[in-house]
Structure 1
Amino acid sequence: MNFEFTEEQGMLRDSVARFIQDSYAFDTRCKIAASDEAMSRDNWQTLAELGWLSVPFAEEHGGFGGSPVDTMVVMEEFGKGLVLEPYLATVLLFGGLLQRGGTVEQQAELIPRIIEGGCLGAFAYLERQSRYELADIKTTASAQGDSFVLNGEKVVVFNGASADQLIVSARTRGEQSDRDGITLLLVPADAAGIERSSYRLMDGQLVANILFQDVQVPAADVVGEQHAGFDLMHEVVTAANIALAAEALGIMGQLNAKTLEYTKTRKQFGVAIGSFQALQHRMVDTFMAYEQTKSLLYRAVCELDGGGDDVAACVHALKVMVDRSGRKIFGEAIQLHGGMGITDELDIGHYAKRLMMINTTFGNGDYHQAQFSQLRYSA
């Protein structure tokens, strides 16, 4: 099978890589992380001008009409630079829900604004008790006339502090964990009755807990079908998991490259530590972990792009592999760098923290191992 990128994909990869090299040095990234929004509005506009915000959107909305492979290319390079701008939250989650389930009016109004960099979005799905279950929802949306009244709380909302628009999962019928009875609502982030409290995660990104108290939402602002939001959420999150795995792959590659370079320059007993056979074996192990993750990522992307029947199993397996390989690679990188590996002054620890956050987003390795086993057992 040919896994080579097309000429356009190669150009896309090279352009993102140049941006990371020229404009997203580690010191610059640290300053962005320490800023009030933990993102750069100027960088966001640059991403828009370069066309990267348009990659997954259909051409009729002004998008590039890209495939999951194109998204993978962008996210892998973003991983190498530890990019903080909310590409996942705004383009892949919020934009993905609109692309797949939005009305003609919602798509016409918001997707061009996302592409132009004028709209920041967020997907508010997670609750305190829900852990990794998308269907575990206590937030309610009660129908009143031609509107819904939204009440509840969402936590760890990616880009929730800076978002202009939110898509919120709410229960409109059924029991707390039923997949049926979930409705997705498009809500302005400054609507009356919304209270946001922001905080930073260990990887530097700013997230928010959002409280909804009697928020009025017109019935026309439903995204997808009423009571049938779970399948739409699941479809978008599946694609987002693959994109996150691509970001993780970029991070793993950087950790391996930086650690290999360090072992060539760090001397002990008068020789470079990279000359020690035991350390060479460990570097080979981390290289193999990277290659195994890459292979499984390509398998998952091909399944998703081709509409295969094995997408769910591939994604569960990929998340397990990202968890295991990521832990191995960042663990070895930190240990081989010695005490410097965990300092804020060195980028190694920051790569490790981002990998840990990716591993807990939409389910960690143990969760996806259980889901994979259940899927295979039920089949």
Structure 2
Amino acid sequence: MHLNLTYQQEMVREVARDFMRDKFPKEVRKRLDEGESGHSPEIWQEMAELGWMGLVFPEEYGGAEMGFIELAILLEEMGKVRPVSPFFSTVVLGGLPILDAGSDEQKRAYLPAIAAGEAIWTLALAEESGRYDAAAVAMTATVDGDSYILDGTKLFVPDAHIADYLLCVARTGNGARPEDGITVFIVDTKSDGVRCTPYRTLDNNRLCEVVFSRVRVHAADVLGRAGEGWDLVQALLDKAAVAKCCEMSGGARRVLDMTIEYAKERKQFNRPIGSFQAVQHHCANMLSDVDSSWLISYEAAWRISAGLPHAVEAAMAKAWVSDAYRRVLALGHQVHGGVGLIDEHDLPQYFRSASAAEVAFGDARFHRKQLAQRLGY
């Protein structure tokens, strides 16, 4: 693992940093937060023109053929600003599983549209329990000729209200283990029987309830092998957890930068508050958490890029970063004092984003349990 970025990776970082700063100022984020869809199609197309949606896809599908490290860099820069877009849902939750497990026909049919910004995707996995394990999947898919009939409800589906397609995880059978009999389907959101209800979340994004009422899906739209889909889902969850950690580490870095700037400017007793030892120690502890979050996230991202086993590293990263980001924010609030609690300040938004990201794809407790299981306990 090389800690220095290549010239190409530095270019990805610089372009992403400039774009996020210019296209997502506070007033734009506020306008999109208050809008019905929470999404700007115009900015989405500009992101597509930069090649971001196809960043990790092969050239034959219209992509840039880069790796997960470049995706991690992009997500880190996004996390510093908290963009309002379905990028994560489309590329990480939709595109990567198709790239990893899709048939040649499925890749040719769907990846070029994702890379061009012409299709929005998401993942429908969680149900009533909100858990990310196989035992929580209760939605059924029954065989009917050359098709499957999907019945059930999915909760907490990101960006489903603007998605063109979603990957739906359902149970086509039962076996000795909860993981047996799970299948992943590609579902057109315009299909008869699909009903979506969006809800505004704590961090002003949109999660949806998606109800499937006898939705017919052709057998050709099964991703991977029928009844053997849990390995695909688990691989997706590991990558999604690492991707979310990269976003969170970017947000934590921005909170640290804001806090240092404030500590240098804010004066008490005729001196900057950053000159007081207690504030200095707060900033030092924040830096330790920010840098350790970055390192543990990028180690996992590097292993994914290199095609190495990464399940342990993914669980380690999500458990650590979820807690570390919360610690960074707690200290940042202490340094800022009351000014960091008003809505006009950026700090409350980062707190809300961290709270939402903490539970996405499993919180720290869930991943510590996952880590213990992967260590053989």
Measured after TM superposition, the shift of residue 233 of structure 1 is 1.3
Tell me: CA distance 1:184–1:34, structure 2 relative to 1, closer, same or farther (3 Å): same
CA distance in 2, matches of 1:165, 1:4: 37
What does residue 338 of structure 1 align with? 337
Please, what TM-score do these two structures have when normalized by structure 2? 0.97
**1:54 counterpart SS class:** coil
Deviations 1:215-241 (A, max 9, x none): 111111111111111111111221111
Q: Deviations over 1:159-212 (max 9, x none)?
A: 111101111001000069711111111111011111111101111111210011
Q: Deviations over 1:79-119 (max 9, x none)?
A: 01111211110111111121112222222122111111111
**CA apart distance, 1:352:** 1.4
Residue 265 of structure 2 corresponds to residue 265 of structure 1 = yes
Q: CA deviation at 1:339?
A: 2.1
Aligned to 1:139: 139
Aligned-pair CA distance for 1:317: 1.0
Higher mean C-alpha displacement, 70-79 vs 293-302: 293-302
Distance in 1 (alpha carbons) for counterparts of 2:13 and 2:96: 21
The whole-number CA distance in structure 1 between the counterparts of 2:86 and 2:336 is 30
Aligned-residue RMSD, C-alpha: 1.5
Q: Distance in 2 between matches of 1:32 and 1:96?
A: 27
The answer for the alignment partner of 2:83 in structure 1 is 83
Q: What residue number does 1:195 align with?
A: 195
- Provide, for residues 271-295 of structure 1, a one-character-per-residue CA deviation record: whole Å limited to 9, x for no partner: 2111111110111001011111112
User: How many Å separate the matches in 2 of 1:162 and 1:135?
Assistant: 29
Q: Would you say the 8 A contact 2:238–2:315 is kept in 1?
A: no
**3-state SS of the aligned residue for 1:161?**
helix
Which residue of structure 1 aligns with residue 36 of structure 2? 36
The 5 Å alignment of 1:87-166 reads 87-166=87-166
1:32-79 CA-partner distances (Å, limit 9, x unpaired): 111111111111101001111111112221111111101101000000
Counterpart for residue 53 of structure 1? 53
Q: Distance in 2 between matches of 1:265 and 1:163?
A: 44
CA distance in 2, matches of 1:130, 1:162: 22
Contact 1:136 1:176 in 2 (8 A): no
Count residues with an aligned counterpart: 377
Map of 1:74 onto structure 2: 74
1:316 Cα offset (Å) = 1.0
SS at match of 1:178: coil
Aligned amino acid, residue 116 of structure 2? E
Q: Give the letter aligned to residue 320 of structure 1.
A: A
| 1:279 counterpart residue number | 279
Contact 1:137–1:177 (CA<8 Å) still a contact in 2? no
1:231 matched to 2:231: yes
Q: Which runs of 5+ in 2 are unaligned?
A: none
Task: Give the SS at the match of 2:372.
Answer: helix
Percent identity for Structure 1 against Structure 2: 31
In the alignment, residue 247 of structure 2 is paired with which amino acid? E
- Taking the aligned partners of 1:130 and 1:291, their CA distance within structure 2 comes to 31
1:350 aligned onto 2:349: yes
CA displacement, residues 292-323 of structure 1 (integer Å, 9 cap, x when unaligned): 111212221222222333x1111111111101
Q: Which residue of 2 aligns with 1:213?
A: 213
Residue 368 (structure 2) aligns with:
369
- 1:314 is matched by which residue type in structure 2? E
Distance 1:330 1:278 in 2: 16
Q: What amino acid maps onto 1:202 in structure 2?
A: L
Query: Which residue of the partner structure matches residue 297 of structure 2?
Result: 297
With 61-70 and 332-341 compared, the bigger mean Cα shift is at 332-341
Q: Greater CA deviation, 232-241 or 146-155?
A: 232-241
Alignment check: 8 A CA contact 1:135 1:182 kept: no
Residue 269 of structure 1 and its aligned partner are, at CA, apart by: 2.1
CA distance in 1, matches of 2:163, 2:50: 21
What aligned pairs does 1:8-19 form with structure 2 within 5 A after superposition? 8-19=8-19
Letter in 2 for 1:201: T
Q: Determine the C-alpha separation between the residues in 1 that align with 2:193 and 2:42.
A: 30
Q: So what's the TM-score if we normalise by structure 1?
A: 0.96
1:190 is paired with a residue whose SS is coil
Are residues 1:251 and 2:237 paired?
no
8 Å Cα contact 2:62-2:116 kept in structure 1: no
User: For 2:203 and 2:177, how far apart are their aligned partners in 1?
Assistant: 30
Structure 1's unaligned 5+ residue stretches are: none
Task: Tell me the amino acid that sits aligned with residue 50 of structure 1.
Answer: L
Do the aligned residues in 1 keep the contact of 2:148 with 2:217 (CA within 8 Å)? yes
For residues 141 and 285 of structure 2, what CA distance do their matches in structure 1 show? 50
What is the distance in 2 between the residues matched to 1:101 and 1:86? 22
CA distance in 1, matches of 2:135, 2:3: 36
